Structure 1
Amino acid sequence: MQVKVSALLLIFYTFTLHSNHISLALNQEGVYLQKVKLSLSDPAGFLSGWSDRDATPCNWTGITCNHDNSVVSVALPSASLSGPFPIFLCRLPSLSTLSLSSNSINSSLPLSISSCRNLSYLDLSQNLLVGPLPSTLSDLHFLRYLNLEGNNFSGEIPASFGNFRQLESLLLTENLLNGTIPAALGNIRSLKSLVLAYNPFTPGQLAPELGNLTNLEELWLTECHLVGPIPESFGGLIRLKNLDVSNNGLTGPIPSQISHLKSIVQMELYNNSFSGTLPAGWFNLTELRRFDASMNGLTGMIPHELCELPLESLNLYENQLEGLIPESIAKSPNLYELKLFGNRLTGSLPSELGKNSALQTLDVSDCTLSGRIPEFLCQSGALQELVLLNNAFSGPIPANLAKCQTLRRVRLSSNRLYGEVPEEFWGLPQVYLLDLYGNAFSGNISHLIYGARNLSTLKISKNKFSGSIPSEVGSLHTLVEFWADGNELSGEIPTAILNLWQLEILDLSNNDLSGGIPMGIQSMKQLNELNLANNRLSGHIPDEIGNLPVLNYLDLSQNNFSGGVPLSLQNLKLNKLNLSSNMLTGDIPPLFANAVYRDSFLGNSGLCVSDSGSCNRGAGKRSLVFSWVLKSVFVIAGIVFLVGVVWFLLKYKRLKKMKKGVAITKWTSFHKLGFSEFEISDCLKEANVIGKGASGKVYKVVISNGETVAVKKLHERPKKDENNFMSVDSDTGEYEVEVETLGKIRHKNIVRLWCCCNTGNRKLLVYEYMPNGSLGDLLQSNKSKLLDWPTRFKIALDAAEGLSYLHHDSVPPIVHRDVKSNNILLDEDFGAKISDFGVAKVVKAVNKGIESMSVIAGSCGYIAPEYAYTLRVNEKSDIYSFGIVILELVTGKSPIDPEFGEKGLATWVCTTLDRKGVDHVLDPELESTFKEHICKVLDIGLLCTSSLPINRPSMRRVVNMLQELSVTMPGLQEKDGKIFPSL
């Protein structure tokens, strides 16, 4: 009996301990959070520390409790979480702060979110939420902060939002919201920040009721399709600090009531259609630091009152303003940016401009300003951009500017400036663009030019510079363009110029140069244009010119060259050849003995055309002309006969309904060709396929002259005829876009389209052959070890220069829309060229650089966030895609990888950097000695992939940043014909 009692006591004791253990188990709030954990995908293991063995969740990652151990905050930003919104969070009775920003929370936001009754802070920005905004959100009576930016919410902003009682911040940028901005928002009297930018709202006017938001400090409505005037009621926003209504269609005058905005610090009104004059009353806006009303239709004068404010930035460019620039603007102690270009301003620049502030940017180009360049512009040693082109400025360059070590961009072209350029001005170390074109400068090019180690473009054409070209020019390894035509330069072309390995354009025409062309010119592998016309150059034309791989413009006319025309010139793909007015003798090479080049050899009495190997050189120019005329007659007769035969055959084949041997109906060439269309068509065999894509197959074709080309054969696409039957048609749209775009482009970093042809049901595009294939294929293959960091860096710089040309130098600008590593092709030296323009888009000026598309173009992993849900096309979409390419080069990873979950490469990089550091991001195959340099390039890639388009730099700026990284190295070196920074 005693044993039984003891046993019962033991059981009771054990049960008591077990009961106590249960009482110490996870509390109810912890249970709710465990259910949250189970409802979400957590590939990064961010929630792995949430253990049910704890008594409370207060020590869990992202959880904060109050003194009663009740959860008051759940903060899990950038945790790579995915899944629907975890509604169990709303069962936490004391929850006041919830942040799940920068994750992959998807599905729609449930109406039951209103059960999170104590929430005061809700941040769900940068997720994948869809559907309408829940109208019940306004039932969260304690909510002060609501951030839903960067999602895919659609529909209208609920009118019920006007019922918020304590809301201070409403952030809805970068969604798919439509309808108009509701007037009911004017009822949220507590609101301090209203941010609705980058939504495809229905065009509508600003509601006057928004003027009731007397506590509002920030109003950001960029790209909201606003029309009509700014309501006069906005004068009641007396606490407003930031007003941004840029990039809309607002009209009418800028209301005078803005003078009531006494707290305003920043006012962005640019790229609208405002008219009339700038209003008065600016003296009240004592806090205003930045004012931008550029790209409107404003008239009248710049108000003195505005210029007397302590402004930091004043942008009024591309209006119709006239009159003088007020002297008072020079007294502002904070002014760092002044952009007034594209107006009708007259008079001179304020004489003390730059004396009282650290001026960084001055651009007054395309006005009618005159007088001297102020001497104090770089008084504080901060000036970076000085752009005065297309005015009537006179006098010399101030001596003080020669000491301005911060200058980066100088454009003084098309003025009336004169005198000698200060010696030190030639060698400013940060200048990448020096443009003195079209003035009356005299004197020599200084030997100190060697100090301009960042110089990319040197344009001194149409001046009175004299003396010889200093050999120090050869030390400018970053020089891409050298324009010095129309001066009085003499002496010989220095052999040191052959060291300019990146030079694309060399124009020394219309000078007094003598001697010959330096031997070894074939080392200038990037040279695209060579113009030495109208000098006193002599000697033989070097045979080496024919070995310049990308030369397409050659003008050596009006010199004293002698000897024969080198046969090697036939290797070039020339758009222009001019060797006229020299003393050349012998036979014209066979390729040039036709009517296309009839003006290329005039004024060379010793040249003639030979058909049989014997040539009467005494016949002179007359016999040459007669020979050409005679040949032309025979050629024309032959063409007429051939056209007749082809026409007959076409008619005959159509009548017989033959299925084979379809004649070529259109053949267009954009360069001089050494092959025929028939050679191309005969080589389109499966054995020659080197690539396949969505648009068609690519073939490698070796033609009879030994040259290799790449041929894209576009897929045939089903198409309904008039009777709704299916027929076959090629991808005409892509074909026409590619031809229209590439047929006009001449740039070393854009793949060349030799020709195109239409062979019945097939459309063919013939390109230059790139032996190393695409960057994408190389990065993701076992050949990636060929891509060391110097090579990858040069590829990034090459591709950036190609895109920069499309965005900034092409007329009109072009948006590629499918920038990716597979569309960056590599030549034999791993030089990079942009390819595949099948979905490219010309940016129309009428749309001010933005155009909406009916479908998304691009490739998964590269599409900019805003493009995916707004279909707005501008160059910022290309910049995002290029940023992804940079991240590929740095990480070695493809844009889409199972490791990333539902996020892309950019998000993975940001998350990994935050949690694990840079070593877990960099490609382990890259040499550690380059780590610092790689990290700087990584920063550029992250800047390009910024979620907000406005934060992404232009491609011109990207090129500049990459060039700056190359010139900060000990120098550049050449290896197997390619240039890379020696780190």
Structure 2
Amino acid sequence: MHPLSNGRDTKFSDPFLNGLEIFKISENSLKSLAGPNPDPIQNPNNSNAGHNKKKSISGTTLIGVVLGAVFGVILVFIVVFFVFRSKRKTKGEMATTTKESKSSATSKWGPLSFSTTKSSNTQNSLPSDLCRSFSLLEIRAATNNFDELFIVGVGGFGHVYKGYIDNGATPVAIKRLKPGSQQGENEFINEIDMLSKLRHLHLVSLIGYCNENNEMIIVYDYMERGTLRDHLYNTENPALSWKQRLQISIGAARGLHYLHTGAKHTIIHRDVKTTNILLDEKWMAKVSDFGLSRIGPTGITKAHVSTVVKGSVGYLDPEYYKRQRLTEKSDVYSFGVVLFEILCARPPLIRTAEKKQVSLADWGRYCYKNGTLGSIVDPSVKWSIAPECLRKFGEIAVSCLLDDGTMRPSMNDVVWMLEFALQLQESAEQREHVVIPHTLGRIDDLEGEKRGENDDVFSSGTSVAHVSDFNKSSEVSVSTMTTSSSGDNSYGYNKESVFSEIVDPKAR
């Protein structure tokens, strides 16, 4: 019993035979015990090995694809970076070449290209947007080549010209830096940086600037009425009415209030004075000249900025001058001097006057304390000020001039109190045509009685008036002011009309 010799039907020998019965039932036509072998049993380990091999191959392929994609993305970024850098370099070279070859006669909005004579620090400090770029050719055309007949102002920065741009359609004020002034250059950069980021009804608007051929020029909206000082003293202009002065005071105070609280960081003007308050054709006040401005304290724990003392003599905060610590209350002090200028129509310093009258700030406080404020009021408005309004205005000015800066009101408080003083004036004008009696020389006589220590928000027991509390709510301040201004309401004015600004939000 062996496999067929030709191996046609078998490949393996059967290892064992189960008896003759298998032979009998065999359907083999040759009646032989030889037959085909069954299919060999597959080893399960061999199958798993094949599967693992496929899985391993698939994992390797996936890793390769991911790594390839990552390297591809990195390569794309590198290519884009170098292309972008190359384009920027080309644009910069083209702008410089264009600037040096020919000045464009058409102004544009957008980034400025700078003359190669300027330092890199100046170029980097100037803003690259939000300002209109003027060529020197345009500025010369606007001012008739800086004709002296076009000069409308002279200051520490340089000359201010009136000019016309946009084919003569738009009047502008053009401030030209004095050549070679390093301090002026710093102020130039600072003012553009400040004004390019600020927009407010009571701040002068920056239109643009020119930085070419060693010329540094700033272009503003033109203020038709000039400076506030032009309408107070040493002028041929008609005197301002008292109501106009109040409204101008309120406008300037709002501008300073915006600087202190409306921007991202507190901005301290540092040079508040009547020549830096401009008036437009409608007599609206706008604060100007931000060359000395500084960013105020930025930290919660920091209350001041340590800096070199700068400002104008007669307006400087004594606390800032002595300690070189600048706060927004330094602006409040300067504004107090401005208020006395508005009231008295005299300069902040008169060096030829008697010793106690040299400084307007000291003289004003002295007169207020002694009840003789009426004696230093500008004669042109002396007889048109309502007594209660005069008293309130004096309180505000003196509070701004307190020696301790922390006791001075904020500009928000100043705005509110000035609006209240205007309400008092308007209320009195509605009652009758106010004529101040000849006893105006003493504030005590305005109400026909002596002031008691508790009749006012100030106590007169010290050489400088004391402010009890300027941080109270408006409602509390209203009751305080009602007591101090009207006493027993002997004037008979309507309280509802006086406080209409509270009832009607639009009044503010």
Q: Deviations over 1:172-208 (max 9, x none)?
A: xxxxxxxxxxxxxxxxxxxxxxxxxxxxxxxxxxxxx
Note the C-alpha offset of 1:707: 0.9
Percent identity between the two aligned chains: 33
Q: Distance in 1 between matches of 2:241 and 2:171?
A: 27
Q: What's 1:963 paired with?
A: 419
Q: What's 2:447 paired with?
A: none
Coordinate RMSD, CA, aligned: 3.2
Q: 2:177 aligns with which of 687, 699, 714?
A: 714
Q: How does 1:85-484 map to 2 (within 5 A)?
A: none
Q: Deviations over 1:414-453 (max 9, x none)?
A: xxxxxxxxxxxxxxxxxxxxxxxxxxxxxxxxxxxxxxxx
Q: What's 2:101 paired with?
A: 649
The 3 A distance-change label for structure 1 pair 670 and 922 is: farther
TM-score in terms of structure 2 length: 0.57
Q: How does 1:684-699 map to 2 (within 5 A)?
A: 684-699=146-161
> Which SS does the other structure have where 2:238 is aligned?
helix
Note the C-alpha offset of 1:773: 0.9
Q: Distance in 2 between matches of 1:753 and 1:900?
A: 42
Q: What's 1:935 paired with?
A: 391
Q: Distance in 1 between matches of 2:241 and 2:342?
A: 10
Q: What's 1:776 paired with?
A: 229
Q: Distance in 1 between matches of 2:162 and 2:411?
A: 32
Note the C-alpha offset of 1:914: 4.5
Q: Distance in 2 between matches of 1:672 and 1:972?
A: 45
Q: Distance in 2 between matches of 1:917 and 1:842?
A: 39
Note the C-alpha offset of 1:663: 8.8
Q: Deviations over 1:898-946 (max 9, x none)?
A: 3252641121122234457232121111052323223311210111011
Of Structure 1 and Structure 2, the greater helix share is in 2
Q: What's 1:951 paired with?
A: 407
Q: How does 1:827-842 map to 2 (within 5 A)?
A: 827-842=280-295
Q: Distance in 2 between matches of 1:889 and 1:945?
A: 15
Q: What's 1:515 paired with?
A: none
The 3 A distance-change label for structure 1 pair 891 and 644 is: closer
> Is the CA contact (8 Å cut-off) linking 1:664 and 1:758 kept in structure 2?
no
Note the C-alpha offset of 1:675: 7.5
From the CA coordinates, give the structure whose radius of gyration is larger: 2
Q: How does 1:509-908 map to 2 (within 5 A)?
A: 643=95, 646=98, 649=101, 678-682=137-141, 683=143, 684-703=146-165, 704-717=167-180, 731-783=184-236, 785-846=238-299, 848-853=302-307, 855-897=308-350, 898-901=352-355, 903-908=358-363
Q: Distance in 1 between matches of 2:149 and 2:219?
A: 18
Note the C-alpha offset of 1:856: 1.4
Q: Deviations over 1:703-758 (max 9, x none)?
A: 3232111111112336xxxxxxxxxx573211111011111101010001111221
Note the C-alpha offset of 1:778: 2.2
Q: What's 1:921 paired with?
A: 376
The 3 A distance-change label for structure 1 pair 944 and 834 is: same
Note the C-alpha offset of 1:966: 3.1
> Which SS does the other structure have where 1:751 is aligned?
coil
> Is the CA contact (8 Å cut-off) linking 2:260 and 2:268 kept in structure 1?
yes
Q: Deviations over 1:637-694 (max 9, x none)?
A: xx999848616628xxxxxxxxxxx799879786686986532133223222211111
In structure 1, give the amino acid aligned to 2:364: V
The 3 A distance-change label for structure 1 pair 808 and 873 is: same
Q: Distance in 2 between matches of 1:833 and 1:640?
A: 38
> Is the CA contact (8 Å cut-off) linking 2:134 and 2:208 kept in structure 1?
no
In structure 2, give the amino acid aligned to 1:699: Y
Note the C-alpha offset of 1:807: 0.7
Q: Deviations over 1:352-401 (max 9, x none)?
A: xxxxxxxxxxxxxxxxxxxxxxxxxxxxxxxxxxxxxxxxxxxxxxxxxx
The 3 A distance-change label for structure 1 pair 646 and 670 is: closer
> Which SS does the other structure have where 1:746 is aligned?
coil
> Is the CA contact (8 Å cut-off) linking 1:669 and 1:754 kept in structure 2?
no
Q: For structure 1, which segment, 868-877 or 663-672, has the greater mean C-alpha deviation from structure 2 after superposition?
A: 663-672
> Which SS does the other structure have where 1:907 is aligned?
helix
TM-score in terms of structure 1 length: 0.30
Q: Distance in 1 between matches of 2:363 and 2:148?
A: 39
> Is the CA contact (8 Å cut-off) linking 1:675 and 1:705 kept in structure 2?
no
Q: Distance in 1 between matches of 2:386 and 2:318?
A: 29
Note the C-alpha offset of 1:785: 3.3
> Is the CA contact (8 Å cut-off) linking 2:173 and 2:221 kept in structure 1?
yes
> Which SS does the other structure have where 2:403 is aligned?
coil
Q: Deviations over 1:840-898 (max 9, x none)?
A: 00013136230111x21111110011111111100110000000000111111110013
Q: Distance in 1 between matches of 2:236 and 2:321?
A: 33
The 3 A distance-change label for structure 1 pair 963 and 761 is: same
Q: Distance in 1 between matches of 2:282 and 2:402?
A: 32
Q: Distance in 1 between matches of 2:261 and 2:212?
A: 35
Q: How many residues align?
A: 316
In structure 1, give the amino acid aligned to 2:216: K
> Is the CA contact (8 Å cut-off) linking 2:232 and 2:239 kept in structure 1?
no
> Is the CA contact (8 Å cut-off) linking 2:176 and 2:215 kept in structure 1?
yes
Unaligned runs of 5+ in 2: 1-90, 103-114, 431-500, 502-506
Note the C-alpha offset of 1:768: 0.7
> Is the CA contact (8 Å cut-off) linking 1:807 and 1:875 kept in structure 2?
yes
The 3 A distance-change label for structure 1 pair 671 and 826 is: farther
> Is the CA contact (8 Å cut-off) linking 1:716 and 1:730 kept in structure 2?
no
Higher relative contact order (CA 8 A, sep 6+): 2
The 3 A distance-change label for structure 1 pair 669 and 702 is: farther
Note the C-alpha offset of 1:776: 1.6
In structure 2, give the amino acid aligned to 1:702: Y
In structure 1, give the amino acid aligned to 2:180: R
Unaligned runs of 5+ in 1: 1-638, 651-661, 719-728, 974-980
Q: Deviations over 1:573-604 (max 9, x none)?
A: xxxxxxxxxxxxxxxxxxxxxxxxxxxxxxxx
Of Structure 1 and Structure 2, the greater strand share is in 1
